[in-house]
Structure 1
Amino acid sequence: MKFELKFDEDIFRNQMDLLRDLAWKDKIVYYKNSHFLGIFLFIIGCMLFYERPNLLGITFIIFSLGILIPYIYYYFKIKSSYKGFEAAKIKEIEANKNLIFHWEFTEQCLIEKVLDYERVFNWDDFIVYLIRDNNLLLITKNHESMILGEVEVGKENFEEIIDFVEKRNVKKNKLT
């Protein structure tokens, strides 16, 4: 199967947001909710310690810091990664405007061609595939990701590609 795909900025942005969410969404949700508990424990610990310094107040403060410190760390880490991710996305959009990508699915490999550049991935190179929001994500052993959307190839072709990938013994992620 061969596909010729013209670069579309909106599709690219949606696919990159999908990748970002796959990487960070669980941590964001966990730390978004856990910091409320940390603040609550910190306030109670301070009140207990202020009334009469004791072990219970110190314990509450220590537990709250154990919750709040990772929250603060991941807050700044995720925030900085978003900035870097947005900058990389803008660079990629500028570099790929008006390009045509060629994807070829063969029995032995997946071939991606852009201009004179060609990447060949044997099916053994892929460790997992995911289907999220009508996008097929293929992830290699080197943690490179390749994304193909149903919008780009059409519903029938998309289902055909998924069947083809399943037959190549690429493992499906259990979370889908």
Structure 2
Amino acid sequence: MMIEKYAAGLLMLLVACQANAAKEDIVVNVHPSGVTTIASKLGSSDIRVTMRTHEVEINEASREKPRSDQANCTFSRQPCIIVDTLNISAGGRDLFIPRSLFADLSDPTRAVLAQDGKGMNLTIYGGDASESFVLRVSFDASRIKQRILSSAFSPDKPLQETTYYERVMGD
């Protein structure tokens, strides 16, 4: 009887370890100019995240008011890195991405894609020192659900939270 309980417990532990191994976080460094891609699976859906960035030369010495194309530069690094687009697809279908999801991001350094229950979290780290940030984007195979922006110094204390709702004409 004792051996059977031990074997059952060991089997449950092995199953849990295998499930966690399949849900491993994917971490990538963001390319300063070009396309960064992260791919994973959510259930049977292939998940693909692409972020297009470009560099903007900024002049730290002058510290003049930035031009409009540099408005998001944190001046925490040179050159500044601007996020041009962020695309997420699930099962080959592009999700609708509101510009508010990424339009204020600059100087991204690292992105992490992780499964969270029945959905996914995309976490983008960026900036430097007092301008450092952590952006968490929650989504599933059909839509973006939430965006939470925090300082990297206190990532569990949101500075901004945006909830995205799905609306159908006639609601």
- The higher-RCO structure (CA 8 Å, 6+ apart) is 1
Q: More helix by proportion, 1 or 2?
A: 1
Q: Who wins on radius of gyration, i.e. which is larger?
A: 1
Whether TM exceeds 0.5 here: the answer is no
Q: More strand by proportion, 1 or 2?
A: 2
Report the TM-score, using the length of structure 2 for normalisation: 0.28
